[in-house]
Structure 1
Amino acid sequence: MSREELAALPTTTTIETAARALGLGRTRAYQLARENRFPCKVIRIGTSYRVVTADLRHLMSSNDDP
């Protein structure tokens, strides 16, 4: 996912979008979320998961640092 795509995300995003940005597969992303081990803050609303975009951006920017 490009920086422009990441910057254009809303306040929260789907776990699939966050997984794509992190290079994770969909199944693995849901597994990590269920186990409370996803690398970003995840909010569970009923049966759906939402990822806090600010946490995702922070994680992605820290991965860019040398």
Structure 2
Amino acid sequence: MVCPEEFAAAIAATGIALTKGKSTEELAILAILFIQLGYTIESVIAQREYIEKCCNKENSSNLG
């Protein structure tokens, strides 16, 4: 696992590298794309957590 400081530095460097040679309009589109990607991943995580809790409760009640 990467330490938080190295992770933050890598993300910053990636962001800076992605901006090179891009217009402001292209950067705005990239920003929106990555924001949407983050929201989609958060939605998947929330669904997985809900399903895991739901399934664990059902399995526990079936055992007792």
Give the number of the structure whose residues are more often strand, by fraction. 1
TM band (smaller chain): under 0.3
Q: Please, what TM-score do these two structures have when normalized by structure 2?
A: 0.28
Which structure would you say has the larger RCO, counting Cα contacts within 8 Å and 6 or more residues apart?
1
- Structure with larger Rg: 2
